Amino acid sequence: MSASLLLTHCTQIVTLRGAVPRRGAAFADPGVIRDGAVLILEGNIAAVGPRGKVEALPEARRAEKLDAGGRIVLPGFVDSHTHLIFPASRAAEYEERIAGTSYEELAHKGGGILSTVRKLRRAPREALKKRANDALQRFAEHGTTTIEAKSGYGLDAASELTILKLQHELRKTQPIEIVSTFLGAHAFPPEYRGAGKRGDDYVEFLVHKLIPAVTREGLAEFCDVFCDRGAFTSKQARKILTAGRACGLVPRLHAEQLAHTGATQLGVALHAASCDHLDKIDRADIRALAKSDTVATLLPGCCFHLGLARYAPARVLIDDGAIVALATDYNPGTSPTLSMAMILSLACTQMRMSPAEGLAAATINAAFALGRHKQIGSIEVGKFADLALFDLDDYREIPYYFGVNHVWLTLKRGKPIYSRSPQ
Ligand SMILES: [Zn+2]
């Protein structure tokens, strides 16, 4: 494709233009342009609007044309919470959970996160890279153009650095943008669990050794902590995130997934970019989030996969004015999906978000959670031409047809990274 591209005959362009981040009533307007066109120059959006207007521009007449054939166009999904690099599925545990063993019981028996850690430490580097590369292709097939990716299945210096370095290499060899987060505080590693070794020693190791090593090499932008029952305490999380901040890493948190621990209030106090999960938050947490710029990132794929009845209170969060984002939490233990469309279906059906709210949460608010709202997350002049075209007539059909991928074409900075039919 040439440097200029005219994307035309789009039944709906869901622009998500307007105020950033989306809060309250502003969530309701997805900024749809009917019978529209988008002009792309050098990978950026040069014009977007009604077809007649855009097609009349002199640059549009010179551009290569791509007929969308009446399909709908959205900003590429921004998946702001993934655990991209892991060595294998945990399908056997899935079967055990179906038979009645809880996620926390499995973790207690040495399964869960630690079983993935043991496998990752032994896995050949190239095998990890290939698995991640294959997943990134699947992300593109499902309309996702940017992901956040966490470390956290290594939990020792060598393996954590390997994960972050692999993310760095993948950034250069494939088109999806990867935003790196250091999650050394995902779980306490096996070597810090026995007699004589305490969790606080691991926290000291993270604060004094690993965080400085990660930042010395510029391997991450964010620092995350799994602050929950059976994981890190609020006090430990504060120490780790403060040390990360001092090294230039912006905090974010896994908060209130299994139990209410005060992680959300901590996140707000530390001006975290996001607090994620939030299945067990209370009214005071919601009020604190609503008054803050900390994004409430909801991960309904986890509740679905674990078969839980209680989802995060998206409706109250939105109505009270919190910034809500949606993400897959792609990981082998609790949410092995990379389909943002499936997450939208869960958000709409199980959490009563409207399709328009869901799309804003999966694009512009997720971009805000990653500090990239000026470049991505909406279809507006000057932003990257990161677009997903769906073989549908109406954006509401994306969550409606649950479990079916309708992506027809994905563009990253104006270039096709997935096409259902040959270009
Ligand atoms: Zn997670």
State the chain's mean pLDDT as an integer: 96
Q: What is d(CA 69, CA 196) in angstroms, rounded to the nearest whole number?
A: 66
User: If you measure from the C-alpha of residue 253 to the centroid of ligand 1, how many angstroms do you get, rounded to a whole number?
Assistant: 9
Contact status, residue 188 vs residue 199, Cβ threshold 8 Å: yes
Q: What is d(CA 158, CA 384) in angstroms, rounded to the nearest whole number?
A: 35
Q: What is d(CA 228, CA 103) in angstroms, rounded to the nearest whole number?
A: 13
pLDDT value at residue 257: 95
Number of C-beta neighbours around residue 254 at 10 A: 30
Q: What is d(CA 116, CA 152) in angstroms, rounded to the nearest whole number?
A: 10
User: If you measure from the C-alpha of residue 316 to the centroid of ligand 1, how many angstroms do you get, rounded to a whole number?
Assistant: 22
User: If you measure from the C-alpha of residue 47 to the centroid of ligand 1, how many angstroms do you get, rounded to a whole number?
Assistant: 37
pLDDT at 423 over 60: no
pLDDT value at residue 193: 83
User: If you measure from the C-alpha of residue 149 to the centroid of ligand 1, how many angstroms do you get, rounded to a whole number?
Assistant: 9
pLDDT value at residue 108: 80
pLDDT value at residue 103: 79
User: If you measure from the C-alpha of residue 299 to the centroid of ligand 1, how many angstroms do you get, rounded to a whole number?
Assistant: 8
pLDDT value at residue 2: 61
pLDDT value at residue 355: 98
| Run of H or E including 162 | helix 157-173
Give the pair of three-digit tokens for residue 347.
Answer: 């958000």
User: If you measure from the C-alpha of residue 183 to the centroid of ligand 1, how many angstroms do you get, rounded to a whole number?
Assistant: 9
pLDDT value at residue 350: 98
pLDDT value at residue 104: 82
User: If you measure from the C-alpha of residue 32 to the centroid of ligand 1, how many angstroms do you get, rounded to a whole number?
Assistant: 32
pLDDT (mean) for 161-181:
98
User: If you measure from the C-alpha of residue 226 to the centroid of ligand 1, how many angstroms do you get, rounded to a whole number?
Assistant: 8
Determine phi and psi for 115, rounding to 5 degrees.
Answer: -70, -35
User: If you measure from the C-alpha of residue 152 to the centroid of ligand 1, how many angstroms do you get, rounded to a whole number?
Assistant: 9
pLDDT value at residue 109: 81
Q: What is the pTM of this model?
A: 0.97
User: If you measure from the C-alpha of residue 6 to the centroid of ligand 1, how many angstroms do you get, rounded to a whole number?
Assistant: 38
pLDDT value at residue 309: 92
pLDDT (mean) for 77-103:
94
User: If you measure from the C-alpha of residue 254 to the centroid of ligand 1, how many angstroms do you get, rounded to a whole number?
Assistant: 6
Contact status, residue 297 vs residue 318, Cβ threshold 8 Å: no
User: If you measure from the C-alpha of residue 312 to the centroid of ligand 1, how many angstroms do you get, rounded to a whole number?
Assistant: 15
Per-residue confidence band for 422, with pLDDT thresholds at 50, 70 and 90: low
Q: Minimal CA–CA distance to 87: which of 47, 120, 132?
A: 120
pLDDT value at residue 194: 72
Q: What is d(CA 378, CA 383) in angstroms, rounded to the nearest whole number?
A: 8
pLDDT value at residue 390: 98
Inter-CA distances, 13 with 65, 68, 74, 213, Å: 17, 11, 6, 44
pLDDT (mean) for 71-85:
98
User: If you measure from the C-alpha of residue 197 to the centroid of ligand 1, how many angstroms do you get, rounded to a whole number?
Assistant: 26
User: If you measure from the C-alpha of residue 306 to the centroid of ligand 1, how many angstroms do you get, rounded to a whole number?
Assistant: 14
User: If you measure from the C-alpha of residue 7 to the centroid of ligand 1, how many angstroms do you get, rounded to a whole number?
Assistant: 36
User: If you measure from the C-alpha of residue 355 to the centroid of ligand 1, how many angstroms do you get, rounded to a whole number?
Assistant: 24
pLDDT tens digits for 212-271? 999 999 999 999 999 999 899 999 999 999 999 999 999 999 999 999 999 999 999 999
Give the pair of three-digit tokens for residue 423.
Answer: 């270009």
pLDDT at 295 over 70: yes
Per-residue confidence band for 1, with pLDDT thresholds at 50, 70 and 90: low
User: If you measure from the C-alpha of residue 216 to the centroid of ligand 1, how many angstroms do you get, rounded to a whole number?
Assistant: 25
User: If you measure from the C-alpha of residue 334 to the centroid of ligand 1, how many angstroms do you get, rounded to a whole number?
Assistant: 8
User: If you measure from the C-alpha of residue 412 to the centroid of ligand 1, how many angstroms do you get, rounded to a whole number?
Assistant: 25
User: If you measure from the C-alpha of residue 159 to the centroid of ligand 1, how many angstroms do you get, rounded to a whole number?
Assistant: 18
User: If you measure from the C-alpha of residue 147 to the centroid of ligand 1, how many angstroms do you get, rounded to a whole number?
Assistant: 13
User: If you measure from the C-alpha of residue 397 to the centroid of ligand 1, how many angstroms do you get, rounded to a whole number?
Assistant: 28
User: If you measure from the C-alpha of residue 255 to the centroid of ligand 1, how many angstroms do you get, rounded to a whole number?
Assistant: 10
Contact status, residue 13 vs residue 32, Cβ threshold 8 Å: yes
pLDDT value at residue 107: 81
pLDDT value at residue 317: 98
